[in-house]
Each structure stands twice: as structure tokens, then as C-alpha cells.
């Protein structure tokens, strides 16, 4: 076994790890990054990017099947077909390009990327095994960025009919009947895509409503759209296991029944990979299943940092990236600590949901009076021209001085509003700031300005 | 118009580089021939760099604290006629300058904070959000603290990401900084004011924990001192001997001499007597009046006794040198010490006056303490520290007598001075100072 040394060793080349690596390289830190998979992590290989590719393809296909003579736009298209295998090849091409892109960025920054399985020997020594060979790497500082994995249900183990999100994003044909267990954003994004591709989709959710982390005003347009797509949404329903024809479920009213399914997609959450790479041997302090970190992403062991999903919610790529960047700068000797005011979150259902900062309830729970303003897309010209009138923009502000505490929107394509939302909150904008900013017409972003004006009591277009 | 480049001249002492400590001009300034452009510091002294032409400054080589190589471009001046730098003339503002200007802009104290726009919009934002409104935006005099909204526990101070980063880097806790922006947002100007003037005064009663830290750049003279001290302490194994000296007799002599001659010859302090004692003592032990070149493996003993006098100046510790004290009377020594100390305090001491000592005296005067552990002025081998004089009871064999007593704390380079010799030297100083007649009759 050969030996290597470096100043910084990063375990995991997902968004948290590779951004940490690039920034460390820029800062002249001798860095090695290790990952079993191609660089990019869950996000790039089996998460954000593949799902967005599939969602886009499904959307394009659905538009055509929508043009069946009944479109108010006057467009008719005849019997569109989709070769999902070709779609998946296209998606894989994008992923491969991005894999190479990340590898190139790491190389450009002078970071050594090693493909292999990492195993901690001690807090500063890691054995990396690639095939039959292994190398021992000693580092002054270590960053754990091992990410997360889909949660498996003991009574619905992955395999056969039962698939996780990764497999769902690589299906070579559209299942005739797809049953989705879990009505969170991953299940709904993929479920929606397959419904648009022609599958008969059933969503089984144990809670009383879908997307439980959002308030019902935000989820209502999504639920409506799911139903319009013909997706059956079964709430307060528990999956019990596999039956002969599909999924056995138990509902409060009707008791047990079986839902016919060719594939059962289980998306009931993700668990941190804090048990991988022999991390457990380090005896790091934890918060539940997550590694506990402080506001500098330091674990309980000197010189061992952790970033990304393995450190807790929200498990989002952009949070991991910001953590990774910060940690690289801390290791380079800069004074940094986590001082973000908000982490935007997007749900790529149709319509999309974007949230940033506090919801009205969260703001009220913090004490102090709150004012909200809401602007419906039904009153937005651009939304009308895109047949996207469902949804709204909402602002939550401190009543005392109008400081914006939270921004939410639901509607087609509103994910792109996330930048405006997070900038407003990070810069400490008040509703009268945003109300006084010219927003280009005709765009959906006018909804942001109008929501702020509404909170001020003088929206112009409602 | 042409560009005239002035390079950092060879300022002697065989040095290769010097530290820039001050600019006397800024970009855009008009300078005349012989105007001082800036000051650089060598190991020994500050040296002013004069202009050799008249014109307008267009480029500076760096900022105070930067180390500049001898012969490197120091400053560029736009002059009438041709100048001496054809290449620079094509690009009168080299790239480096743009960077510097940016740097300056980021520096809080560099420029006065821009006048805040009158907060007109603030007064009438609207019924819902702004009616209860901010107090009228504070004027520059009444600092932004006026608008400081108390933060709830755990609430983050309101500031843009750039302000937050600047504060982190400056070690400032933003919870302490009053925000004058909308909703109490902390602006760059608020941070500038905080950095410049410190926390707002007249806060609520009660004491608050001090959370700030400040980085003080170690530059110029302080850096020289730091390097010199580290060099001495890391290379020289010091042995320090503290001895008690009964100075009653020498004090009596001093009093009489002053009574008789103060008007005509100037006042004597104890220091010239100590200098005299050192001259006498090193006559018997020339190894004490020496410089040790440890790399060359040579101790060079000097016949002349050049005594360095450690002197506190506003810029820090310097050691002006009284040369050839063996050839000076006590009054002459006294006058030389006064002259050197003044020159050093005013920063006017020449390089010659700040170098060339062969042994050093350090004294903290009335703060002199009971004992000190003086650090040898490398590459010398001995230093004599003078402690505070006090009247103490001394046993004369029959009874306690009130005597004027002063300790001396002397350090030696133990590599070349053995403990025995060091003790002999200290005893010699003691006996000379206790019996001052010896200092003059042996002559």
C-alpha cells in the first residue's frame, strides 16, 4: 500500500466536496478529493440534474400530447411518441458532460481527484481502495462530504418492482402503472414527469397532505395540477408491502387494499451517509443521524470538518456548496462563519414552488407582528400569455419596519425567482425597497414587486 | 509630457531591500524637486527618499509595510519634457495602480465616509410598514447608533453579505454596530464609522462583554524591534546576574558635583557614572566589550567603548550610541546622552548615531523595578540593566543604616562569557559604583 500526504483531504465529490476542493485549490491548498462515483455526487449523477432532464423531456412530450385539437392556442399535433431509452441516453450525455466539467474544474484548481472507496483509519488518515489497489492518505485537515442516500422501507426493500429515485431516473421504458410511496418533493417531481409521459400514477402519502413542509396555500395549486394530470393522490394512506399485483396499502376509511403497479417508487426521504467510510470509528458527536457541526462546519474532532447532507437539513446542493466554500476559506486561514440569512428551496413540480426565508407561520412563531402581501399570477400579463395563471407570489415582512422575512411563490417557472428572493433577504431589503424597484414588464417577476406593494397596501394591478 | 521613474536608491549599509513605512505623497499630487516622497526603513534607521524632479505623481510602488528591493521602481512622476521611462510613458497608469486604488477604497479609514443622502423616502414609506417609522435618520454627528434597534435573542444583525464579511475579517461583532439603513440595516458607512470611532457611547447601563479583536499590523520600527529581539533571544543563551549596589557614595558625589558645576557644565544623572564604571570594568575584561560573529566564529574585541543607550521613543525602542566613552568625561557623557536621546525621540538620529555600539545600557528610570532580564543587543555580548534606586536599610555590622540602594541586572552571552567572568564583571561594576573614587584615581 502506497502512502500519500496532503494538507486537505475531502471525502466525497458531491456539491459540498467538489466546491470545497475548487476553492481550496484556488487558495493554494494542497488538496485531494476522493469519491467512488464520478464527481458531482447525488445532485449531478442521480439527483437534481437527471431529474430536471427527465422533467423537461416529459414537459415537452406532454405539451405535444396536449395539442390534441382542444388547445386554445389552435395548435394540433398528431400522435407524438417518446423513446424513453433515447431520452435517458440524452440525459446520461448531459451528466457525463457535467462529470467531465467538474473533473476539469478540480484539475484546473490543482486538486487531485482519486476514484475509490474511502475508509477512515483515524481522524487524519484514510485508506482509499480502488479495485485491488489501495493507498493510504494522511492529511492535516479532513472534510467529510459523504452526502445522503434514499431511505429504504423495511417492508418494501429496493429490488424488482420496488425502485428508488436513482433507478426511476434511468428507466428505459415508461411503466404503465407507477405507484409512488411518499408525497414529498422528490416523489411528486418524478411522479409528475411519468404522468406526463403517459404512466398512470398513484401517490401514497401517510400524512394528511402532500409536501408537508409547505403551507397549504402553496401546495394547493400543485395538488390541483396533479389531479388535472390524472394522478391519484391518496392521503392518510400507509404503504404496507408488496402484493401480487402491486402495492398493499391501508387507508383510514377503506382499510387494506391493493393498488396495481408495475413499478413502486419509494421516496420517503433521505438519510445522511454518516455511517459510510468508517466514519463511525471516529466517534464524532451527532445530532440524530447527522454529524454535528458548529457555525464553521467543524465536527467534534479537531481538524475534521463536515459539509452537506451529512450535516443535516435542509439537504440541498446549494447549502452544501456554500458550506464547502466556507470551509476551504477557513482552512486557508480566513475568518469565516455561517452567517446566511436564508437558503432558498425549490420544488420542481408543475407548478413549481420556491421558498426563501420564513413562512407566515414561522414568522409569527418568532413573535412580533407580521404583515404579508400576495399577488396572484392570474393578474400577471406574462403568466396569462404562458397559460400559467395558477399560483402567486407572497411576501412576509416585519410589521414594525417592513423588513422582508420570507418570500414564497408557486407557479410555472417560478424557480427562477429564487435569485431575487434570496438577494432581497440577504441584503436586508424592506418591502418599500422592493416596491420601489422597477421590475421588467412583462415578466412573472413583476409579481414580486406587486406582492410587496400589496403588503404596503397599494398594489397596482389588483 | 514624459514619465520619470525614480528607483529606490542604495541607501548604504549594503542592504538589499528596505521597508516602505510612509508615503508623503499620493497619486495625483504635484511634487517639486527635493520634496520628500516617502520614507523607508532599514535595520538601522528611517531614510527619507526625496524627489529628483518636479511633476505629478502617477504611480506608487506599494503600501506602507511592503518591502521594496533596492533599485526597484519606487515612484513614477509625470514631468515636463521627456522623462526617463519610455515604456511607462505609453501606459502612464500601470496596472498595479488600479489595484492599489481599489485596495484603498476598501480600507475603511482611507476616505471620509460619503455624506449620507437625506432620508426623504424614509419619512413617508407608507401607512402599513413605515408609519410608525424610523426616527429621522441620524446626522453624522449623532452617530448611527441612534437608530439601533435592539436585537432579540438569537436574531441576526441586519447587514448585506459584503458588510458581514468585512466585519468578520475585521473581528467586529455586528450586534454592536448601529445600523442607519432601512430597518436598521448596517451599511458600509456604519461599519466605517464603527471602525474609526469605536462603539457608540452612552449605551444602556451595565457592562457588556468585549467581543472584538483587532489586528495591528507589525510594520516599520516595530517590525525591526521584533526581528531584533527574536534574533537575540533565539540565538543567544542569556545568563542574567542581579546585584545590589549601595549608591549612597556616588549619589553624594553626584550631588556635590551638580552643586558646584551644574550651571556651567550641565546636570549629571547617575547614568554617566555607570558609563564610566563600564569603561573601567571592560579595561580589565575586554571580552565584555565585543561583538560575537557566531557564523564567522569570531569575537571582535574593541578598544573603544561605544555604549548603546536603550531609549524609549514614540515609535518604539531605539539604541543611540555614545561613541568612545573611554575618551569622555562624565559631563561629556551626560551631554552626549541628552543629545542622543533627544535626537532619537524626535526621529532625527542619523544611521551612524544608531549603530556601532559594543555594549549597551538599559534603564527604565523611575519604573526600573527591582530586577529585569535584559535582552542583549545582538551581536554584542553584554548588557547592563539599571534598576530603581530606593532608600533601604543595610546592615553595617552593628546596626541598620538607611542607604541609597540600586540593583543592576546584567545579561551576558553565555556562549562566550562564562558565569564566573560575568560575576567578576558585575562585582567590578558594584565596587566601582560603591567607591566612586576608584573610577577617577585609577585613571
Residue A458 has pLDDT above 90, yes or no: yes
pLDDT band of B429, cuts 50, 70, 90 = very high
Whether omega for the bond prior to residue A442 falls within 30 degrees of 0, making it cis, is yes
One domain for residues A263 and A355: no
Instruction: Please tell me whether residues A323 and A427 are part of one structural domain.
Output: no
Contacts of A367 in chain B (CB under 8 A): 152
Q: With beta carbons under 8 A apart, name residues in chain A contacting B149.
A: 401
CATH number at residue A238: 3.50.50.60
A248 and A128 belong to one structural domain? no
* Last residue in a domain, options A268, A290, A307: A268
Region of poorest pLDDT, from A107-116, A428-437, B184-193? B184-193
Percent of chain A with pLDDT over 70: 100
**Other CB atoms within 10 Å distance of the CB of residue B209:** 5
Question: Which pLDDT belongs to residue B215?
Answer: 84
Q: Which residue among B129, B160, B164 places its CB closest to the CB of A430?
A: B129
Instruction: Say if residue A13 is in the same domain as residue A141.
Output: yes
* pLDDT above 60 for B127: no
The predicted model gives A178-190 an average pLDDT of: 96
A140 touches chain B (CB under 8 A): no
Q: Between A339, A433, A457, which is nearest B164 by CB?
A: A339
Interface test with A, best of B123, B128, B131, B169 (most A CBs within 10 A): B128
Residue A295 touches chain B, beta carbons under 8 Å: no
Give the per-residue pLDDT at B40: 86
Average of per-residue pLDDT across B395-421? 94
The CATH number of residue A352's host domain is 3.30.390.30
Report the C-alpha gap between A101 and A39 in whole angstroms: 9
Q: Give the mean pLDDT of B402-406.
A: 95
Is the pLDDT reported for residue B263 higher than 90?
no
Can you give the residue range of the structural domain that contains A281?
2-150+271-331
Residue A336 lies in a domain: no
Are A19 and A79 found together in one domain?
yes
**Which member of B125, B169, B184 has the closest CB to residue A335?**
B169
Same domain, A355 and A292: no
Q: What is the pLDDT of residue B152?
A: 74
Listed ranges B39-48, B63-72, B276-285; the one with the highest mean pLDDT: B276-285
Query: Which residues is B292 bridged to in the sheet?
Result: B299
Which residues lie closer than 8 Å to B438 by C-beta, 6 or more apart?
B280, B431, B432
Using the predicted structure, report yes or no on whether residue A221 has a pLDDT greater than 90.
yes
Written as one string, the DSSP assignment of B128-169 is: HHHSS-PPPPPPSSS-GGGG-PPPPTTPPP-B-HHHHHHHHH
Q: Are residues A28 and A40 in the same domain?
A: yes
User: Which of the four pLDDT bands, split at 50, 70 and 90, describes residue B99?
Assistant: very low
If one compares A415 and B28, the residue with the highest pLDDT of the two is: A415
Chain A CB within 8 Å of residue B124 CB: no
In this structure, the answer to whether residues A184 and A278 fall within a common structural domain is no
Q: Does B87 touch chain A (CB under 8 A)?
A: no
For all residues of chain A together, what is the average pLDDT?
95
- Give the strand pairing for A263-266 and A270-272: unpaired
pLDDT at B439 (0 to 100): 87
| Neighbour-count burial of B214, counting CB atoms closer than 10 A to its CB (0-12 exposed, 13-18 middle, 19+ buried) | exposed
B414 is catalytic: yes
B65 touches chain A (CB under 8 A): no
Distance from CA of A312 to the nearest CA of B (A): 20
Is B9 an interface residue toward A (CB < 8 Å)? no
A419 reaches B (C-beta below 8 A): no
Domain annotation covers residue A352: yes
pLDDT at B8: 85
Nearest beta carbon to residue B129 from set A337, A367, A401 = A401
In a domain, residue A311? The reply is yes
Residue A157 placed within a domain = no
Chains A–B, number of C-beta pairs less than 8 Å apart: 75
B204 pLDDT exceeds 80? no
Contact at 8 Å (CB) between A414 and A344? Answer: no
The residues near A439 (Cβ < 8 Å, ≥ 6 apart) are A445, A446, A448, A449
> What confidence score (pLDDT) does residue A344 get?
97
A16: distance to nearest CA of chain B, Å?
Answer: 20
Residue A338 included in any domain: no
Cross-strand pairs, A68: A76
Mean per-residue pLDDT, B22-42: 86
Residue-level pLDDT at B138: 40
* 3-state DSSP assignment of residue B11: coil
Helix (H, G, I), strand (E, B) or coil at A194: helix
Residue A259 and residue A307 share a domain: no
pLDDT tens sequence across A41-96:
999 999 999 999 999 999 999 999 888 888 899 999 988 999 999 999 999 999 99
Residue B272 is predicted with a pLDDT of 94
Question: pLDDT band for position B224 (50/70/90)?
Answer: confident
Q: What is the mean pLDDT of residues A238-261?
A: 92
Single residue among A280, A296, A331 that ends a domain in this structure: A331
Q: Does A462 map to a domain?
A: no
Within this chain, do residues A360 and A399 fall inside the same structural domain, yes or no? yes
Domains of chain B: 2-106 (2.40.50.100), 124-197 (4.10.320.10), 221-441 (3.30.559.10)
Q: What is d(CA A431, CA A450) in angstroms, rounded to the nearest whole number?
A: 10
- Tell me how many domains chain A contains: 3
**B182: chain A residues, CB-CB within 8 Å:** 401-403, 428-430, 432-433
Tell me if residue A48 falls in helix, strand or coil: helix
Please give the Cα distance from A324 to B118 (Å, whole number): 41
Identify any residues that bridge with B4 across adjacent strands, giving them in sequence order.
Answer: B77
Asked if B245 and B406 touch (Cβ cutoff 8 Å), the reply is yes
Among candidate residues A440, A437, A450, A453, the one with its CA nearest the CA of residue A375? A450
Candidate list A66, A334, A439, A441, residue with the active-site label = A441
Cα A36 from Cα A171, distance rounded (Å):
23
Residue B137 confidence (pLDDT) above 50: no
Torsion angle of the four alpha carbons B134, B140, B143, B146, in this order, in degrees rounded to the nearest 10? -20
Q: Provide the 8-state DSSP code for A311.
A: G
Axis-axis angle for helices B248-265, B419-434 (nearest 10): 60
The last residue of one of the domains, among A268, A283, A302, is: A268
Same domain, A248 and A276: no
Q: Are residues A138 and A254 in the same domain?
A: no
- Per-residue pLDDT band for B201 (boundaries 50, 70, 90) equals low
Amino acid at each position: 500500500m502506497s502512502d500519500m500526504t496532503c494538507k486537505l483531504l475531502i471525502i466525497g465529490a458531491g456539491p459540498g466536496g467538489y466546491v470545497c476542493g475548487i476553492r481550496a485549490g484556488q487558495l493554494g491548498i494542497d488538496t485531494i478529493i476522493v469519491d467512488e462515483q464520478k464527481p458531482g455526487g447525488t445532485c449531478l449523477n442521480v439527483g437534481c440534474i437527471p431529474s430536471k432532464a427527465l422533467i423537461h423531456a416529459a414537459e415537452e412530450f406532454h405539451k405535444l400530447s396536449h395539442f390534441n385539437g382542444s388547445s386554445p392556442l389552435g395548435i394540433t399535433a398528431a400522435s407524438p411518441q417518446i423513446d424513453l431509452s433515447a431520452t435517458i441516453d440524452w440525459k446520461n450525455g448531459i451528466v457525463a458532460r457535467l462529470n467531465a466539467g467538474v473533473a476539469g474544474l478540480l484539475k484546473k484548481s490543482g486538486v487531485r481527484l482519486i476514484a475509490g472507496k474511502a475508509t477512515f483509519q483515524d481522524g487524519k488518515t484514510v485508506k482509499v481502495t480502488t479495485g485491488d489497489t489501495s493507498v493510504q492518505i494522511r492529511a492535516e485537515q479532513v472534510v467529510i462530504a459523504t452526502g445522503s442516500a434514499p431511505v429504504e422501507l423495511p417492508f418494501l426493500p429496493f429490488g424488482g418492482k420496488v425502485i428508488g429515485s436513482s433507478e426511476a431516473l434511468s428507466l428505459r421504458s415508461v411503466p404503465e402503472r407507477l405507484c409512488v410511496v411518499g408525497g414529498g418533493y422528490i416523489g411528486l417531481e418524478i411522479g409528475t414527469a411519468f404522468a406526463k409521459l403517459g404512466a398512470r400514477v398513484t401517490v401514497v402519502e401517510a400524512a394528511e397532505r402532500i409536501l408537508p413542509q409547505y403551507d397549504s396555500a402553496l401546495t394547493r395549486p400543485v395538488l390541483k395540477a396533479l389531479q388535472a394530470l390524472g394522478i391519484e393522490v391518496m392521503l392518510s394512506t400507509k404503504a404496507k408491502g408488496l402484493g401480487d399485483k402491486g402495492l398493499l396499502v391501508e387507508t383510514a376509511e377503506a382499510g387494506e387494499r391493493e393498488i396495481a403497479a408495475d413499478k413502486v417508487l419509494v421516496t420517503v426521504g433521505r438519510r445522511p451517509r454518516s455511517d459510510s467510510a468508517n466514519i463511525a470509528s471516529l466517534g464524532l458527536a451527532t445530532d440524530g443521524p447527522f454529524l454535528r457541526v458548529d457555525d464553521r462546519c467543524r465536527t467534534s474532532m479537531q481538524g475534521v470538518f463536515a459539509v452537506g447532507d451529512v450535516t443535516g437539513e435542509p439537504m440541498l446542493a446549494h447549502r452544501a456548496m456554500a458550506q464547502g466554500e466556507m470551509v476551504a476559506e477557513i482552512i486557508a486561514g480566513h475568518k469565516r462563519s455561517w452567517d446566511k440569512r436564508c437558503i432558498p428551496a425549490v420544488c420542481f413540480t408543475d407548478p413549481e414552488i420556491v421558498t426563501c426565508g420564513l413562512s407566515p407561520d414561522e414568522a409569527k412563531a418568532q413573535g412580533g407582528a407580521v404583515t404579508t402581501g400576495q399577488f396572484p399570477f392570474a393578474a400577471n400579463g406574462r403568466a396569462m400569455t404562458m397559460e400559467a395563471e395558477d399560483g402567486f407570489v407572497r411576501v412576509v415582512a416585519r410589521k414594525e419596519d417592513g423588513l422582508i422575512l420570507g418570500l414564497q411563490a408557486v407557479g410555472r417557472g417560478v424557480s427562477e425567482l429564487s435569485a431575487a428572493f434570496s438577494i432581497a433577504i440577504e441584503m436586508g431589503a424592506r418591502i418599500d425597497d422592493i416596491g420601489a424597484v422597477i421590475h421588467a414588464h412583462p415578466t412573472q417577476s413583476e409579481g414580486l414587486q406587486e406582492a410587496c406593494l400589496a403588503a404596503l397596501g397599494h398594489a397596482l394591478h389588483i | 509630457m514624459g514619465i520619470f521613474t525614480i528607483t529606490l536608491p542604495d541607501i548604504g549599509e549594503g542592504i538589499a531591500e528596505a521597508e516602505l513605512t510612509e508615503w508623503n505623497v499620493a497619486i495625483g499630487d504635484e511634487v517639486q524637486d527635493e520634496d520628500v516622497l516617502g520614507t523607508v526603513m532599514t535595520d538601522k534607521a528611517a531614510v527619507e527618499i526625496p524627489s529628483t524632479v518636479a511633476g505629478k505623481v502617477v504611480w506608487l510602488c506599494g503600501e506602507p509595510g511592503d518591502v521594496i528591493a533596492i533599485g526597484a521602481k519606487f515612484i513614477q512622476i509625470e514631468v515636463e519634457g521627456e522623462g526617463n521611462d519610455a515604456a511607462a510613458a505609453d501606459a502612464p497608469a500601470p496596472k498595479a495602480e488600479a489595484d492599489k486604488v481599489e485596495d484603498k477604497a476598501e480600507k475603511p479609514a482611507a476616505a471620509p465616509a460619503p455624506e449620507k443622502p437625506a432620508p426623504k423616502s424614509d419619512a413617508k414609506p407608507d401607512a402599513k410598514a413605515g408609519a410608525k417609522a424610523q426616527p429621522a435618520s441620524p446626522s453624522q454627528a449623532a452617530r448611527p447608533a441612534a437608530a439601533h434597534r435592539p436585537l432579540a435573542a438569537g436574531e441576526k444583525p441586519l447587514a448585506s453579505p459584503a458588510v458581514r464579511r468585512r466585519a468578520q475579517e475585521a473581528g467586529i461583532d455586528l450586534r454592536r454596530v448601529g445600523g442607519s439603513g432601512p430597518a436598521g440595516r448596517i451599511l458600509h458607512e456604519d461599519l466605517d464609522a464603527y471602525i474609526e470611532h469605536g462603539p457608540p457611547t452612552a449605551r444602556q447601563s451595565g457592562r457588556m462583554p468585549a467581543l472584538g479583536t483587532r489586528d495591528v499590523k507589525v510594520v516599520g520600527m516595530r517590525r525591526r524591534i521584533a526581528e531584533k529581539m527574536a534574533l537575540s533571544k533565539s540565538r543567544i543563551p542569556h545568563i542574567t546576574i542581579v546585584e545590589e549596589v549601595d549608591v549612597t557614595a556616588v549619589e553624594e558625589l553626584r550631588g556635590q558635583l551638580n552643586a558646584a558645576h551644574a550651571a556651567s557644565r550641565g546636570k549629571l544623572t547617575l547614568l554617566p557614572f555607570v558609563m564610566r564604571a563600564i569603561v573601567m570594568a571592560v579595561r580589565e575584561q575586554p571580552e565584555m566589550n565585543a561583538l560575537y560573529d557566531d557564523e564567522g566564529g569570531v569575537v571582535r574585541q574593541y578598544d573603544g567603548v561605544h555604549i548603546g543607550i536603550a531609549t524609549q521613543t514614540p515609535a518604539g525602542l531605539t539604541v543611540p550610541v555614545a561613541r568612545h566613552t573611554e575618551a569622555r568625561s562624565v559631563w561629556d557623557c551626560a551631554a552626549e546622552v541628552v543629545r542622543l536621546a533627544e535626537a532619537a525621540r524626535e526621529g532625527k538620529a542619523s544611521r551612524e548615531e544608531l549603530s556601532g555600539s559594543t555594549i549597551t545600557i538599559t534603564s527604565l528610570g523611575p519604573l526600573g523595578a527591582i530586577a529585569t532580564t535584559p535582552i542583549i543587543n545582538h551581536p554584542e555580548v553584554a548588557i547592563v540593566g539599571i534598576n530603581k534606586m530606593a532608600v533601604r536599610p543595610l546592615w553595617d555590622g552593628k546596626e541598620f543604616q538607611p542607604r541609597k540602594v540600586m540593583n543592576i541586572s546584567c545579561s551576558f552571552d553565555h556562549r562566550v562569557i562564562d558565569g564566573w567572568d560575568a560575576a567578576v564583571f558585575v562585582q567590578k561594576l558594584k565596587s566601582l559604583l560603591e567607591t566612586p573614587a576608584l573610577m577617577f584615581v585609577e585613571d
